[in-house]
Amino acid sequence: MKWRNRVLGASLLLAAVGCVSGETQHERGEALYGYCEQCHGDAGQGNADFRTPAIAGLQDWYIEAQLQKFRIGARGDHPDDLDGLRMRPMSRTLATDGEVALVSAYVASLDPVDPPDTMVGGDPVAGRVLFNTCIECHGERAEGRRDKSAPSLLNQSDWYLVAQLHKFRSGIRGADTLDTTGIQMRPNALALENDQAVRDVVAYIETLDN
Amino acid sequence: MFELLDLKQGSSYAGDIDQLILMITIITGVWFLLTAGMFFWLLFRFRAKKDESGQYVTGDEPQLKRWVTWPHMLILLCDIAVIVMAVNVWYTVKQDLPEADATIRIIAQQWAWTFVHPGPDGELDTPDDIRTVDRLYLQEGITYHYKLSSVDVLHDFSVPIFRLKQDAVPGREITGWFKPTVQGEYGIQCAEMCGIGHGIMGARLILQSASDHEFWIQSNSPTPVAQVTGQ
């Protein structure tokens, strides 16, 4: 009887382990996304009221890099970055690099959602000329280039792009020495002369969504 | 007693608050033991016995009534004692505002703390102010005024080692004070439910000696940054 009990016990243990490991990486990423969902929405569509951008379908390497920046304080650590300061502690709920990778992969797997336009006063024709500066890294269609660590700008909230460009220009973002790619972005944002130029280039980027 | 529990007291009024809590604990503890003891003694003393029927007691007789009225009056006296001690501590912590040696600004938001320290000039709201996120640097042994505000929802600035809790209310700037008494690094937390990130809205308090704090101020004083047009 003793050996039978041992076999039964071992079988139950193996079954339990099987159940735990049966959770796919996608499911684990989805479970981790539950925390993000509160602000970014169940489809990753973002929420202008919460000042959270659309993240659905962004490249996984970009999401992973940004989450790591938030975690180490390379982004979202400036006293004037009110939105970033909200994101920073949330990024730290991800306990390991593995969890960061899993949730990034899950977000990347979501279907992109084109957020509604909220910005007014941008001139896409003038923005087309200004966008020439961005093409080198973000690509001609703003699709992003991994070799330049530059994300896709497609299907992104216009208010978010405006806010980020202003943050880069004022040094709220991209001024931390740990933010090596942000530092590269900052002089390009500073090349935009004023708020109108920022709106113009974002207005042009929004036309690329279609 | 609090030393035995490793509850370090880090502000000039932490001891007052601990004493108040200790007194309330003793008073309520003594009454709890008395009432529980009396209850179980009565259960035992007047338990069911053979050949003895139960007796209905109205409680109108003076010799029975005094079992209620005397403890009642004693408890009222205890209440008055607690109120006197509590008001005294409340006045010290919240009503009184001793002259400040330095003033800091504390800004709460979902889910971070921004601290504004006076720079080398010792004055707040000047260009040499030092702003930090989630790290508050203070000097031991001097009196601070704090100006607490919130940019979004209700928060509560809670520093357990100071025994301090103060709500941060959107639209209001609340002034309070504390005087740190021990060096070291301690925790700051939000003690008011403020959203999904409430539980991780923590910060660190670094209490330094005068020389260390002066060095920190000199090392972290911001250099002028060129203003950029736009937002």
What mean pLDDT is predicted for residues A17-28?
Answer: 71
What mean pLDDT is predicted for residues A197-206?
Answer: 95
Compute how many other C-beta atoms are within 10 angstroms of the C-beta atom of residue B183: 16
* pLDDT of A19 strictly over 60: no
pLDDT at position B228, please? 43
Shortest distance, CA A175 to any CA of chain B (angstroms): 12
Instruction: Flag if B230 and A85 touch (Cβ within 8 Å).
Output: no
Shortest distance, CA A112 to any CA of chain B (angstroms): 25
* pLDDT of A165 strictly over 60: yes
Domain termination residue (choose one: A61, A81, A113) = A113
B229 close to A (CB below 8 A) = yes
Asked whether residue B73 is assigned to any structural domain, the reply reads: yes
Instruction: Flag if B114 and A90 touch (Cβ within 8 Å).
Output: no
pLDDT at position B4, please? 58
* pLDDT of A174 strictly over 90: yes
Angle between helices A60-72 and A97-109 (to 10 degrees): 140
Domain termination residue (choose one: B95, B110, B125) = B95
Distance CA A142, CA A126 (A): 16
Asked whether residue A56 is assigned to any structural domain, the reply reads: yes
Domain co-membership, B35 together with B136: no
* pLDDT of A12 strictly over 80: no
Torsion of CA A31, A33, A38, A41, to 10 degrees: -120
Asked whether residue B153 is assigned to any structural domain, the reply reads: yes
A86 vs B contacts (CB less than 8 Å): 109-112, 197
Domain co-membership, B80 together with B175: no
Domain that holds residue B21: 14-46+57-95
B226 close to A (CB below 8 A) = no
Distance CA A77, CA B133 (A): 7
Shortest distance, CA B187 to any CA of chain A (angstroms): 16
Shortest distance, CA B197 to any CA of chain A (angstroms): 7
Distance CA A145, CA A61 (A): 11
State which residue of chain A sits closest to B195, comparing Cα positions: A38
What percentage of chain B's residues is helix, strand, coil (to nearest 5)? Answer: 35, 25, 35
Distance CA B188, CA B158 (A): 6
Asked whether residue A95 is assigned to any structural domain, the reply reads: yes
Contact (Cβ atoms closer than 8 angstroms) between residue A153 and residue A161: yes
Place of tokens 């005068």: B210
Domain that holds residue A88: 24-113
Distance CA B111, CA A94 (A): 16
pLDDT at position B195, please? 92
Asked whether residue A182 is assigned to any structural domain, the reply reads: yes
ipTM above 0.95, yes or no: no
pLDDT at position B109, please? 95
A-B C-beta contacts closer than 8 Å? 53
For chain B, what is the domain count?
2
Q: Which of B:39-68 have CB within 8 Å of A?
A: none
pLDDT at position B138, please? 98
Asked whether residue A17 is assigned to any structural domain, the reply reads: no
pLDDT at position A205, please? 95
What mean pLDDT is predicted for residues A90-100?
Answer: 94
Question: What residues of chain B score a pLDDT lower than 50?
Answer: 225-231
pLDDT at position A13, please? 59
What mean pLDDT is predicted for residues A85-109?
Answer: 95
B220 close to A (CB below 8 A) = no
Domain co-membership, B202 together with B135: yes
Domain termination residue (choose one: A87, A113, A139) = A113
